Structure 1
Amino acid sequence: MFFVAHIHFARRNSLVAQIFSALRDENVFSSRNYCLRDELIFVAQCALDAKGTALWACKLAGSTDCPKGGATSLSFTNSKNININGLMSLNSQMFHIVINGCQDVRIQGVKVNAAGNSPNTDGIHVQLSRNVAIFNTSIKTGDDCVSIGPGTKDLWIEQITCGPGHGISIGSLAKDLEEEGVQNVTVKNAIFKGTQNGLRIKSWARPSNGFVEGVQFLDVLMFNVQNPIVIDQNYCPHNINCPAQVSGVKISDVVYRNIQGTSASAVAIKFDCSATNPCSGIRLENVSLTFRNQEVQSHCANANGKIVGSAQANSCL
Structure 2
Amino acid sequence: MKQNMMKQLCVFLCHLLVFFCLFTIIPSAYGRKLHRSCKKHHHTYGVSCNSTNNFNILCFGAKANGVSDDSKKLVAAWNAACKVDGGILQIPSNHRFLIKPVTLQGPCMSHVVIQIDGTLLAPSKVGSWSKSNLYQWINIKWVQNITIQGSGTIDGQGCNWWAPMGSKHTFDIKPTALRFYASEDVLVRDIMIKNSPQVHLKFDNSRGVKVNNVSILAPGNSPNTDGIHLQNTRDVEIMHSNIGTGDDCLSIQTGCCNVHIHHINCGPGHGISIGGLGKDKSVACVSDILVENSNIENTLYGARIKTWQGGIGLVKNITFSNIQVTNVNSPIVINQYYCDKSLCKNETGSVAIKEVKFDKITGSYSTQPIYLACSDDIPCTEIDLSGIQLKPSRRPLEGSHVQQALCYNSYGSSNDQLVPSSMNYCLKKGGDGAINQISRLSNADC
TM-score normalized with structure 1 length: 0.89
> How far off is 1:60 after superposition?
1.6
CA distance in 2, matches of 1:214, 1:309: 21
Specify which of 130, 139, 143 is matched with residue 38 of structure 1. Answer: 143
SS of structure 2 residue aligned to 1:54: helix
- Rate the CA distance shift 1:67–1:180 in 2: closer, same or farther, 3 A: closer
After TM superposition, give the deviation of residue 70 of structure 1 in Å.
1.8
Alignment of 1:286-297 (within 5 A): 286-292=387-393, 297=404
Q: State how far apart, in whole Å, the 1-side matches of 2:170 and 2:359 are.
A: 44
Using the aligned pairs only, state the percent identity: 32
Q: CA deviation at 1:43?
A: 3.0
Amino acid at match of 1:239: S
Change (3 A) 1:220 1:15: same
User: What stretches of structure 1 of length at least 5 have no aligned partner?
Assistant: none
The Cα RMSD (Å) is: 2.6
Deviation at 1:298, TM superposition (A): 0.8
Give the structure with the higher percent strand: 1
Spell out, residue by residue over 1:199-258, the C-alpha distance to the aligned partner (whole angstroms, 9 max, x if none). 11001111x222110000010001000011010111112323x02113421000000111
Q: Summarize deviations over 1:168-223 as a string: whole Å, max 9, x none.
A: 111001114342300000001111111010011001111x2221100000100010
Is the counterpart of residue 146 in structure 1 residue 250 in structure 2? Answer: yes
Structure 2 unmatched runs, 5+: 1-70, 103-121, 124-128, 395-401, 428-446
Tell me: CA distance 1:224–1:292, structure 2 relative to 1, closer, same or farther (3 Å): closer
Which residue of 2 is the match for residue 268 of structure 1?
369
Query: Judging changes above 3 Å, is the alpha-carbon distance between structure 1 residues 156 and 7 closer, same or farther for their aligned structure 2 residues?
Result: farther
In structure 2, the CA distance between the partners of 1:245 and 1:178, relative to structure 1 (3 Å rule), is closer
Deviations 1:271-293 (Å, cap 9, x if unpaired)? Answer: 00011111001001100001157
Q: Matched residues in 1 for 2:83 and 2:250: separation?
A: 26
Per-residue CA deviations over 1:84-130 (Å, capped at 9, x if unaligned) read: 01120111001000011000000010100100000110000001011
Counterpart of 2:143, as a letter, is D
Q: Residue type of the partner of 1:229? A: I
Please identify, of 220-229 and 61-70, the stretch whose mean Cα deviation from structure 2 is larger. Answer: 61-70
More helix by share: 2
SS at match of 1:134: strand
Deviation at 1:53, TM superposition (A): 1.1
Contact in 1 for aligned 2:164/2:170 (Cα 8 Å): no
Matched ranges for 1:1-317 at <5 A: 7=82, 15-17=89-91, 24-26=98-100, 29-30=122-123, 31=129, 32=133, 33=136, 34-36=138-140, 37-45=142-150, 46-56=152-162, 59-60=163-164, 62-66=166-170, 69-206=173-310, 208-240=311-343, 242-265=344-367, 267-292=368-393, 297-312=404-419, 313-315=421-423, 316-317=426-427
Q: Does the 8 A contact of 2:306 with 2:336 survive in 1?
A: yes
* Cα distance in 1 for residues equivalent to 2:362 and 2:213: 25
- The alignment covers a number of residue pairs equal to 307
* Cα gap change, 1:205 to 1:39, in 2 (>3 Å): same
CA offsets 1:124-149 (integer angstroms, 9 cap, x no match): 00010110110001111001100110
CA distance, structure 2, for counterparts of residue 277 and residue 8 of structure 1: 52
- Separation in structure 1 between the aligned mates of residue 176 and residue 377 of structure 2, nearest angstrom: 37
Letter in 2 for 1:82: V
Aligned residues of 2:182 and 2:205 also touching (Cα < 8 A): yes
Q: Distance in 1 between matches of 2:390 and 2:209?
A: 33
Find the aligned partners of 1:238 and 1:180 in 2 and give their Cα distance.
21
> How many Å apart are 1:25 and its aligned residue?
3.6
CA contact (8 A) 1:44 1:87 kept: yes
For structure 1, which segment, 33-42 or 140-149, has the greater mean C-alpha deviation from structure 2 after superposition?
33-42
CA distance in 2, matches of 1:61, 1:232: 23
C-alpha displacement of 1:261? 0.2
Read off the aligned partner of 2:333 and give its amino acid letter: V
Are the aligned partners of 1:234 and 1:247 in contact in 2 as well (CA < 8 Å)?
Answer: no
- The DSSP-based 3-state class of the residue aligned with 1:172 is strand
Query: For 2:191 and 2:387, how far apart are their aligned partners in 1?
Result: 35
Residue identity matched to 2:91: A
In 2, the alpha carbon distance for the partners of 1:309 and 1:161 equals: 27
Alpha-carbon separation, structure 2, partners of 1:27 and 1:178: 30
Q: Which has the larger radius of gyration?
A: 2
Q: Look up the equivalent residue of 2:351 and give its one-letter code.
A: V
Instruction: Give CA-to-partner distance per residue, 1:58-93, whole Å, 9 cap, x none.
Output: x22743145552211000011100000112011100
| Displacement after TM superposition at 1:16 (Å) | 3.2
Indicate the structure whose relative CO is greater, using CA pairs within 8 Å and at least 6 residues apart: 1
